[in-house]
Amino acid sequence: MLNVVDEFTRECLASRVARQLKAADVIGVLSDRFILRGMPSHGTHPAKTAGRG
């Protein structure tokens, strides 16, 4: 089972269930997410920058 979860929003971005998951399966799920949602932007969440300034 593969679950991809946004740690900030706790949103489930993808879920894949199979008896065996190979590296190609994981890469396929992640590449689909990147195509649909774009690359992750690390460090730009509002909670991380709210205390600054």
Q: What pLDDT score does 47 carry?
A: 56
Q: What is the pTM of this model?
A: 0.66
Residue 53 falls within a domain, yes or no? no
**Domain presence at residue 45:** no
- What local confidence, expressed as pLDDT, does residue 14 receive? 93
3-state secondary structure the chain: CEEEECCCCCCEEEEECCCCCCHHHHHHHHHHHHHHHCCCCCCCCHHHHCCCC
Q: Is residue 52 part of a domain?
A: no
Name the β-bridge partners of 4: 14
Residues 1-53 pLDDT 10s: 999 998 888 999 999 999 999 999 999 999 999 898 888 776 665 555 555 54
Residue 9 lies in a domain: yes
Range of the domain at 28: 2-38
| Number of domains into which the chain is organized | 1
Is the residue at 33 inside a domain?
yes
Those residues with Cβ within 8 angstroms of residue 37's Cβ, 6 or more apart along the chain or in another chain: 13
Of residues 40, 46, 2, the one with CA closest to residue 21: 2
